[in-house]
Amino acid sequence: DGTIKFEDVHFAYDANRPILKGISFEVPAGKSVAIVGPSGAGKSTLSRLLFRFYDVQSGAITIDGHDIRNVTQKSLRAAIGMVPQDTVLFNDTLAYNIRYGRPDASQEEVLKAAELAQIGNFIRTVPEGFDAMVGERGLKLSGGEKQRVAIARTILKAPPVLILDEATSALDTATEQEIQDSLDEVSKGRTTLVIAHRLSTVIKCDEIIVLRDGLIAERGRHAELMTLKDGLYAK
């Protein structure tokens, strides 16, 4: 389970400037759908609506057939995991940061998640660093390492629904590829909504939706979109 449906969703932050003008798509349980489009197209707005930071003005968003307006914040947060663009970490141990969202997790589970996110060795070989994540006593983590912490956290939480919001866009190319591999691993078998600037990062998604001017301009698999001559936002 974990099927997400956007049904004719309309939304505006300001009444006179609509951002989403009737968006309908489905992310079937266990599948991945990517939203691409130029900056300002409304991609992140979709994820904010899914978390109910804002509510749709008309239409509906459902998870497994339940309108999210009828779901408690608590269960919504439990159901959805997100790997954001820039991971802000708590100034606390790596374990604390990974365990956040699942405080009941055992030491062993935390370590396993860290290993899957490829920071397991890091935990073991740099014992000093983890008393303070950042700051004088601690280790300053790179952008890629922070992303791995976010990924480990998500692996541990194991939510049925996953949002990857431009999760690799702040990274250099080499790191981006490594993180992408970890993200592919996390999203395997989960309902995943990927928000991306570039088509090249969403090749593996089951469907790609191109958002433009508040509407779905194109949709299809990567190979299908690549055959379009024009009207496609791609780099």
Query: Smallest distance from the beta carbon of 110 to ligand ADP, in angstroms?
Result: 27
Of the candidate residues 4, 9, 19, 61, the single one contacting ligand ADP (CB under 6 A): 19
Query: Smallest distance from the beta carbon of 175 to ligand ADP, in angstroms?
Result: 19
Q: Which is nearer to ligand ADP, 39 or 173 (CB)?
A: 39
Which span (21-29, 35-43, 105-113, 154-162) binds ligand ADP, by CB under 6 A?
35-43
Q: Which is nearer to ligand ADP, 161 or 211 (CB)?
A: 211
210 phi, psi to nearest 5 deg: -100, 120
70 phi, psi to nearest 5 deg: -100, 10
Cβ atoms of 190 and 30 within 8 Å: the answer is yes
Taken in order 149, 153, 155, 160, is the CA torsion positive or negative? negative
Which span (43-51, 94-102, 170-178, 226-234) binds ligand ADP, by CB under 6 A?
43-51
Q: Which is nearer to ligand ADP, 212 or 222 (CB)?
A: 212
Ordered alpha helix ranges (H), 101-202: 107-116, 120-125, 143-157, 173-187
Q: Which is nearer to ligand ADP, 113 or 225 (CB)?
A: 225
Of the candidate residues 5, 33, 36, 42, the single one contacting ligand ADP (CB under 6 A): 42
Task: Answer yes or no whether residue 57 interacts with ligand ADP by CB under 6 A.
Answer: no
Count of C-beta atoms within a 10 Å radius of residue 91? 11
Task: Answer yes or no whether residue 40 interacts with ligand ADP by CB under 6 A.
Answer: yes
Query: Smallest distance from the beta carbon of 145 to ligand ADP, in angstroms?
Result: 20
Q: Which is nearer to ligand ADP, 68 or 82 (CB)?
A: 82
The residue behind tokens 């660093």 is 129
Which pairing describes strands 32-36 and 207-212: parallel, antiparallel, or unpaired?
A: parallel
Count of C-beta atoms within a 10 Å radius of residue 162? 24
Task: Answer yes or no whether residue 37 interacts with ligand ADP by CB under 6 A.
Answer: yes
Ordered alpha helix ranges (H), 117-168: 120-125, 143-157
Query: Smallest distance from the beta carbon of 108 to ligand ADP, in angstroms?
Result: 33
Query: Smallest distance from the beta carbon of 19 to ligand ADP, in angstroms?
Result: 5
C-alpha span between 235 and 224 (Å, rounded): 15
Span 65-124, contacts to ligand ADP by CB under 6 A: 85
Task: Answer yes or no whether residue 44 interacts with ligand ADP by CB under 6 A.
Answer: yes
Q: Is 219 buried (19+), middle (13-18) or exposed (0-12) by CB count in 10 A? A: middle
C-alpha span between 148 and 144 (Å, rounded): 6
Residues within the interface to ligand ADP (CB under 6 A)? 13, 19, 37, 39-45, 85
